[in-house]
Structure 1
Amino acid sequence: MTKKKVLGVSGGQSITQADIERMADEAERGYGDAQLRHAGRGRPALGDGPARAVQARLDPQLHAALEQRAKADHKTPSEIVRAALHEYLSA
């Protein structure tokens, strides 16, 4: 079995010269409307209306705990803060 030279990595997948040639051939043939999707502008909506940014200062220990929890839960710190604030205000 011949080992293929990896030229790069995309999304955790190895990219070889054969992959590049296959993708180039596909692109040269063109894509139909079903294959092309409209990319929206900006960040995805969080609710019905425009979102507003709120800033807060955190001491180093609280910030470290937030970062650690976000990493453990595979979420962003903003997602953790929004969920915690929603829970607090709903109580």
Structure 2
Amino acid sequence: MVSDASIQQWTDEAEVGYDVDALKRRGRGRPGRGAEPMQVVAVRLTAEELDAIDAAAAKNDMSRSEAIRAALAHFAA
């Protein structure tokens, strides 16, 4: 439940007005990996394949995504 004090505080804040520019300001989101836009590619993997990727990633102190990108780079080389 919302208390009467909270409602009063929100009302007072709204009556004063909001800084629209501050409300519109947002973070950049996920940091980019380069100058070009990235694409998301969906791939279906078995549980065993995911376990193998996760084990390799942990062994190399990488995220799952980093391990998949490294495997793709190795395959494409």
Would you call these one fold, judging by a TM-score over 0.5? yes
| Structure 2, unpaired ranges of 5+ | 1-26
SS where residue 71 of structure 1 aligns?
helix
Deviations 1:12-52 (A, max 9, x none): xxxxxxxxxxxxxxxxxxxxxxxxxxxx5111111221111
Q: 1:87 aligns with which of 58, 74, 77?
A: 74
Displacement over 2 Å in runs of 4+: none
RMSD: 1.3
TM-score for both structures, normalised by structure 2: 0.58
User: Which has the larger share of strand?
Assistant: 1
Q: What amino acid is aligned across from residue 57 of structure 1 in structure 2?
A: R
**Which of 38, 53, 56 does residue 69 from structure 1 map onto?**
56
Aligned length: 51
Measured in 2, the distance between the counterparts of 1:44 and 1:50 equals: 11
1:60 match: 47
| Structure (1 or 2) with the greater helix fraction | 2
Could you tell me which runs of 5 or more consecutive residues in structure 1 were left unpaired when the two chains were aligned.
1-39
Q: What is the TM-score of this pair, normalised by structure 1?
A: 0.50
Query: For the residues of structure 2 that align with 1:42 and 1:62, how far apart are their CA atoms?
Result: 29
Deviation at 1:82, TM superposition (A): 0.7
State the identity as a percent.
35
